């Protein structure tokens, strides 16, 4: 069952701007009590830009689009909150489970509720050694069939970035840099790879969204890749060194599947003295603010 909060429902009915926010960062991406502080901060940032935040999670089998403070606190503090991709939603509903939503689950539920703009940190993608592991995030396939605009800082730098960009192209997912022709690398402003398109303003992003609807093509997403400011990125040489160590540690520990990403991200936080976390949060804050401005431009259509 989809539970849309009264605030979000009223905003959508009145065509006011709404921004979907994932909850995995709250339950699994940050340590307590920082996670709750950041969750409330991100919602406040959306409001400061004149939009309504719609944080999404599943609680006791019910998918909630828009959480009140008590529900956010529950996601942040309750032990046993699962990590849910879109494939898990029906299972969680039927078993009355509670879980934080990843990019794929958040995008799916947001689109179901009628929300067009979604802000996150970095997308999932094709994992390194794909030819051996066949490990690819469910985010990509979901975005290929979901009409939503995702503002992100590229894909997580622990992934195979060029393979992910190729996969997005194959799936027909539009990717544009925001005021850049370089594809950002999550913690880094530049992943070392280019994008074919650059958009210069929230209004221009909204024009692309309108064109998507007018052309009536496949119901695929628009990825707006918004780089973390250079002055707030993780030092590239530190990133390269620690990531190499993290990948080796992951292999030696035999980590596979869904456990790979949290293992690598935790290794980066611990071995950069928290600098990777600071860069992550800087990226998320920028994405949330930009998404709110895009939602405002879209609401004016």
Q: What is the pLDDT of residues 34-90, one digit of tens each?
A: 999 999 999 999 999 999 999 999 999 999 999 999 999 999 999 999 999 999 999
Across 130-144, average pLDDT = 80
What pLDDT shows up at residue 66? 98
- For 29-122, strand residue ranges (E) read 52-59, 62-65, 82-84, 99-101, 117-119
- In the structure, what pLDDT confidence band is assigned to residue 258 with cuts at 50, 70 and 90? low
Say how far residue 221 (Cα) sits from the centre of its chain. Answer: 13
Using the predicted structure, report yes or no on whether residue 129 has a pLDDT greater than 70: no
The DSSP line for 158-221 is TS-HHHHHHHHHHHT-EEEEES-SEEEETTEEEEEEE-S-EE-SHHHHHHHHHHHHHHT-----
Higher pLDDT, 22 or 247: 22
Q: What is the C-alpha separation between 5 and 36, in angstroms, rounded?
A: 19
What pLDDT shows up at residue 109? 98
What pLDDT shows up at residue 261? 74
- State phi, psi for 229 to the nearest 5 degrees: -55, 140
Could you give the percent of the chain with pLDDT greater than 70? 97
Q: What is the C-alpha separation between 43 and 51, in angstroms, rounded?
A: 9
- Residues that are catalytic: 22, 156
Across 225-231, average pLDDT = 96
What pLDDT shows up at residue 130? 62
What pLDDT shows up at residue 134? 64
What pLDDT shows up at residue 131? 58
């Amino acid at each position: 069952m989809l539970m849309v909060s009264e605030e979000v429902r009223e905003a959508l009915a009145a065509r006011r701007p709404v921004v979907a926010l994932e909850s995995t960062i709250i339950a699994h991406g940050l340590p307590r009590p920082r996670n709750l502080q950041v969750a409330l901060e991100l919602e406040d940032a959306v409001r400061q830009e004149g939009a309504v935040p719609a944080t999404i999670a599943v609680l006791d089998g019910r998918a909630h689009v828009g959480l009140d403070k008590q529900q956010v606190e529950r996601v942040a503090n309750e032990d046993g909150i699962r990590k849910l991709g879109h494939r898990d939603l029906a299972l969680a509903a039927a078993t009355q489970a509670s879980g934080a939503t990843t990019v794929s689950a958040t995008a799916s539920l947001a689109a179901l509720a009628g929300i067009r703009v979604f802000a996150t940190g970095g997308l999932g993608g094709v994992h390194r050694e794909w030819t051996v592991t066949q490990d690819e995030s469910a985010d990509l396939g979901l975005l290929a069939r979901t009409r939503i605009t995702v503002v992100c800082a590229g894909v997580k730098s622990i992934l195979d970035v060029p393979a992910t960009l190729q996969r997005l192209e194959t799936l027909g997912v539009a990717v544009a840099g925001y005021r850049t022709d370089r594809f950002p690398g999550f913690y880094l402003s530049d992943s070392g790879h280019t994008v074919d398109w650059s958009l210069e303003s929230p209004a221009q992003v909204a024009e692309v969204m309108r064109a998507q609807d007018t052309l009536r093509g496949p119901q695929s997403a628009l990825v707006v890749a918004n780089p973390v400011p250079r002055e707030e990125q993780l030092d590239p040489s530190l990133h390269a060194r620690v990531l190499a160590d993290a990948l080796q540690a992951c292999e030696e520990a035999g980590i596979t599947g869904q456990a790979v990403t949290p293992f690598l991200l935790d290794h980066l936080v611990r071995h950069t003295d928290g600098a990777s976390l600071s860069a992550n949060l800087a990226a998320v804050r920028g994405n949330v603010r930009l998404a709110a401005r895009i939602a405002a431009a879209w609401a004016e259509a």
